Amino acid sequence: MTLKPLYKEKPSEPAKSDWLQEGFEHIWLPYTQMQDAALPLPVVDAYGCRIKLADGRELIDGISSWWSVCHGYKHQYIVDAIKNQTQQLSHVMFGGLASEPAYTLAKRLVEISPDGLSRVFFSDSGSVAVEVAMKMAVQYWRNKNNRNKTKLISFHNAYHGDTMGAMSVSDDDDWIHKVFKGYGPEQIRFAVPDENTLEQLAKNVAAIKDSAAAIIIEPLVQGAGGFKFHSPLILKEIYEIAKKNDLLFIADEIATGFGRTGTMFACEQAGVTPDIMCLGKALTGGYLGLAATLATEDIFTAFLSDDYGSAFMHGPTYMGNPLACAAANASLDLFAREPRLDQIEKIQRLLLSELEICRELEIVKDVRVKGAIGVVELKETDWKKIKQAREKFIEMGVWLRPFGNVFYIMPPFTISTEELEQLTAATYSVLKD
Ligand SMILES: *Cc1c(COP(=O)(O)O)cnc(C)c1O
């Protein structure tokens, strides 16, 4: 296999060991056609909003490492929290044994999440948090002796993860999930409605409510499935449709949670409390893998019984890992202590004013901003050009990775005005060319 580095300059200092080249022969990259896969950029350090490469160059991060690193890299407060926890207790199983960071975190998550959510089930990745939510929803009805309500209602352009259940509720026509179309549990998908199609959705849902367990949605912003937005009003209406039809309402806040859309959780803007809520990504500030599925007391109570079989049957090995939970507790401290929501508001203002200029470009279909999410959607998808754009961004010293027909910026909330302006300027410049 020929290896094509993304950049031309040779590393200024010879690498001490060739871990990259040697390891690359054995690595299988995500979402990548390996036949002509470019060699990833070797990273030797990251701090604040900067990613430092082995050749000494630095990239300004506009992706927050898949939207997780919300306080920037190497934040000393989180680093210390993890270090201290390592010296205390790195891991212990969650069955029969308890560790302080997880129990403290559960209490804190309930305190900051929409009123009514009261129980926390920990797992280690967002996809699993979604699987857990789906199993909870189906078993909720089974525990109530209803075995017909099994289907999940989801939406076009949804992305809920890459495991089997999560795929079944994601858009099955997108580039990530297409190959598995028709495999796995069969669910029901509708378009996210607008004011004109709400009534139709209400009718469609009413027609299938007896076989449906829940509606699952990414509130306000659909992420990897195309970065489509809907208003708090629409979200509220979808919630009402779920309630009217005796369906559970699952909010997948894995991408939107922890401030990304301008409030701590996107559901707040619609004033709704989901029956089940999934968290992940920025939960630990992006330092360690951790996810959580929150449920209301109503959901939880449906699992209480003299019959052991009514209990929730799930339990990831690394559930409630103390290191990850210590990082999450530290991250919550930072949200309380540092002006994150103000920073997000400032990012929103800057993205709105700086990306607007992209709208005048012939190839651009739409420009939209919500919280610390800036999106430029193109009229067409051309993967060859997307690849060129990715290379151009690196040459310009920014880390942005458009995909499909979408260019997006989701920076760490701690990004400076100058750094953010470099991201928006690079976006315009690359689109213009
Ligand atoms: C990333 C994401 C997931 C999956 O999380 P993983 O940790 O990658 O498994 C699920 N839902 C949404 C909305 C996401 O953005």
For residue 281, give the ligand 1 atom closest to its CA: 7
Stated pTM of the model: 0.95
Confidence of residue 6 (pLDDT cuts 50, 70, 90): low
Mean pLDDT of 392-403: 97
Q: How sure is the predictor about 327, in pLDDT bands with cuts at 50, 70 and 90?
A: very high
Q: What is the mean pLDDT of residues 288-316?
A: 97
Q: Is 246 a catalytic residue?
A: no
Name which of 9-18, 84-93, 113-122, 151-160 the model is least confident about: 9-18
Question: What's the CA-to-centroid distance between 285 and ligand 1, angstroms?
Answer: 15
Residue bearing the CA closest to ligand 1, atom 7: 126
- Percent of the chain at pLDDT exceeding 90: 92
Q: What is the pLDDT of residue 7?
A: 52
Instruction: Assign 189 a pLDDT band (cuts: 50, 70, 90).
Output: very high
The residue from 159, 287, 408, 428 that is catalytic is 159
- Residues flanking ligand 1, CB < 6 Å: 125-127, 130, 159-161, 218, 223-224, 252, 254-255, 280-281
According to the model, what pLDDT value does residue 3 have? 54
Determine the pLDDT at residue 310: 96
Which of 160, 218, 250, 408 for mutating ligand 1's site (highest number of atoms within 8 Å of CB)?
160
In the set 4, 8, 16, 31, the catalytic residue is 31
State residue 228's pLDDT score.
98
CA distance linking residue 84 with residue 49, whole number of Å: 24
Catalytic annotation on 210?
no
CA distances from residue 348 to 252, 259, 342, 428 in whole angstroms, order as listed: 22, 12, 10, 17
Quick one: pLDDT at residue 15?
54
